[in-house]
């Protein structure tokens, strides 16, 4: 019987270097904090396996950053992990709509750890945290720094907060973060009367860049199937209907795919990977950008084919209200696409014999569409689908009888 996944060995190694006086009981508390947070039932992408991947390093500070950087996923988990609330008491409040706001009481303003993390994120004393502006990352960093505030010195706490801040993804101006990081380190050094030399500051920023790139590394790898599986896990995690393990209407499923497809279409390789002061070396950085650009193109084609397929099934249903249970359909394993730079057809063909149209590897209709239609034709159909409206039977009537028949059979099998 295999043991459950845990961060214990990674965290023990990292703290053995950073805080050799850490007691076994304290280590247990920190291990439980990470393990319980990262194995909550709604986690499909931001899970413990992902944290352990990001923590893979011979740098102990980097290891701790990787383990703690995603402990909070407030929208996915429905709030804070219950065992983390103690670290935010008196520092962060939660409003009636679920929003988190920083507290500016005298006690909060005197809290050095709170001050360090705010400076690293560039947040004001009364900031309301934005879902797309570092909310989860800030709360994760604050919990990590508070939980280890008596084990790590000021410089290590700042380095940890910067590293977690760097994992805020997909910024339109990623080049601006370096100056803000250096300014934060100078301010922290001055305020807490510690000397952080210029080479050390650059080292802390390089570390932050390195871990930020590792956090999204599947974007820049040849293994486009893993990238697609990560994308699929994000679709699940970001949809309350999909992650509920209850039935979902075909319309709501189509809307979840449509939102993810639009989001991915808004990305560019330059928004994904960062570079600073030789981290990574320029040739590696250019290679990642090139592969990421190709992967984004392939994913766009796959997602558009999947989106058109489910829209056709919704069109065959006619109401958009028929439901299915995602947990009963979700694929268990995936085979690799053989080509180094696969096309959408290469990815979808391995699911072409499946009896349903759902995951990346359950793709009989989307594969057929990718064969019969050009990329431009698929995009033209997809672009006409209004995200808020039901897809009527007018869509399926535009397709040949063979596609109509296949669609109706899939709708019969999948929907109740």
HEC assignment per residue over 114-180: HHHHHHHHCCCCCCECCCCCCHHHHHHHHHHHHHCCCCCCHHHHHHHHHHHHCCCCCCCCHHHHHHH
Burial 102-124, CB ≥16 within 10 A → b, else e = bbeeeebeebebbbbbbbbbebe
Task: Specify the DSSP element, H or E, that contains 254.
Answer: helix 250-265
pLDDT at position 281 is 98
Q: Which residue has the tokens 């604050």?
A: 142
pLDDT at position 402 is 97
Nearest to 75 by CA among 234, 272, 309: 234
Q: What are phi and psi of 184, to 5 degrees?
A: -65, -45
Entry pTM: 0.94
Cα–Cα dist 344/361, whole Å = 12
Cα–Cα dist 16/57, whole Å = 14
Cα–Cα dist 224/69, whole Å = 24
Cα–Cα dist 242/235, whole Å = 8
pLDDT at position 173 is 86
163 neighbors 62 (Cβ within 8 angstroms): yes
For residue 4, the tally of other CB atoms under 10 A from its CB is 8
Nearest to 279 by CA among 118, 59, 122: 59
Cα–Cα dist 105/245, whole Å = 41
For residue 277, the tally of other CB atoms under 10 A from its CB is 10
pLDDT at position 342 is 82
Cα–Cα dist 258/235, whole Å = 10
For residue 245, the tally of other CB atoms under 10 A from its CB is 14
pLDDT at position 51 is 99
pLDDT at position 411 is 94
Cα–Cα dist 148/137, whole Å = 17
Cα–Cα dist 380/61, whole Å = 48
Tokens of 9: 């060995």
What are the pLDDT tens digits along the chain (416 aa)?
578 999 999 999 999 999 999 999 999 999 999 999 999 999 999 999 999 999 999 999 999 999 999 999 999 999 999 889 999 999 999 999 999 999 999 999 999 999 999 999 999 999 999 988 999 999 999 999 999 999 999 999 999 999 999 999 999 888 889 999 999 999 999 999 999 999 999 999 999 999 999 999 999 998 888 888 888 889 889 888 888 778 889 999 999 999 999 999 999 999 999 999 999 999 999 999 999 999 999 999 999 999 999 999 999 998 878 998 876 566 544 445 555 668 899 999 988 999 899 887 899 999 999 999 999 999 999 999 999 999 999 999 999 999 999 999 999 999 86
pLDDT at position 333 is 47
For residue 219, the tally of other CB atoms under 10 A from its CB is 26
Tokens of 405: 């028949």
Q: How do the domains of the chain map onto residue ranges?
A: 8-215, 219-414
pLDDT at position 266 is 95
């Amino acid at each position: 019987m295999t043991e459950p996944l845990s961060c214990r060995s990674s965290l023990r190694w990292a703290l053995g270097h950073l805080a050799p006086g850490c007691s076994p009981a304290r280590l247990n508390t920190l291990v439980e904090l990470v393990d319980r947070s990262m194995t909550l039932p709604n986690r499909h992408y931001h899970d413990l396996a992902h944290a352990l991947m990001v923590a893979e390093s011979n740098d102990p500070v980097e290891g701790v950053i990787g383990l703690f950087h995603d402990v909070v996923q407030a929208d996915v988990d429905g709030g804070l992990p219950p065992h983390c609330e103690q670290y935010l008491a008196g520092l962060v409040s939660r409003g009636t709509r679920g929003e988190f706001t920083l507290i500016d009481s005298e006690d909060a303003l005197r809290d050095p750890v709170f001050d360090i993390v705010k400076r690293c994120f560039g947040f004001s004393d009364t900031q309301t945290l934005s879902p797309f502006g570092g909310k989860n990352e800030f709360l994760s960093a604050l919990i990590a720094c508070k939980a280890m505030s008596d084990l790590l010195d000021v410089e290590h706490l700042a380095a940890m907060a910067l590293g977690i801040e760097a994992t805020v993804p997909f910024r339109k101006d990623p080049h601006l973060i370096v100056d803000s990081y250096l300014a934060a380190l100078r301010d922290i050094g001055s305020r807490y009367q510690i000397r952080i030399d210029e080479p050390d500051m650059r080292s802390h920023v390089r570390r932050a860049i390195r871990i930020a790139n590792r956090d999204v590394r599947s974007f820049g790898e040849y293994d486009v199937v893993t990238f697609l599986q990560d994308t699929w896990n994000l679709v699940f995690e970001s949809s309350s209907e999909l992650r509920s393990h209850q039935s979902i209407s075909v319309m709501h499923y189509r809307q979840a795919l449509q939102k993810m497809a639009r989001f991915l279409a808004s990305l560019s390789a330059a928004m994904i990977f960062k570079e600073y002061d030789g981290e990574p070396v320029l040739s590696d950085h250019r290679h990642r950008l090139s592969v990421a650009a190709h992967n984004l193109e392939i994913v766009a084609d796959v997602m558009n084919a999947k989106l058109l397929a489910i829209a056709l099934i919704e069109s065959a249903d006619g109401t958009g209200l028929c439901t299915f249970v995602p947990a009963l359909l979700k694929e268990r394993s995936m085979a690799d696409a053989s080509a180094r730079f696969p096309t959408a057809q290469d990815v979808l063909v391995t699911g072409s014999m499946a009896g349903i149209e759902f995951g990346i590897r359950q793709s009989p209709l989307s594969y057929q569409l990718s064969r019969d239609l050009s990329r431009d034709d698929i995009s033209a159909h997809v672009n006409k689908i209004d995200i808020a409206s039901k897809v009527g039977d007018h869509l399926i009537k535009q397709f040949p009888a063979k596609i109509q028949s296949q669609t109706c059979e899939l709708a019969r099998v999948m929907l109740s």
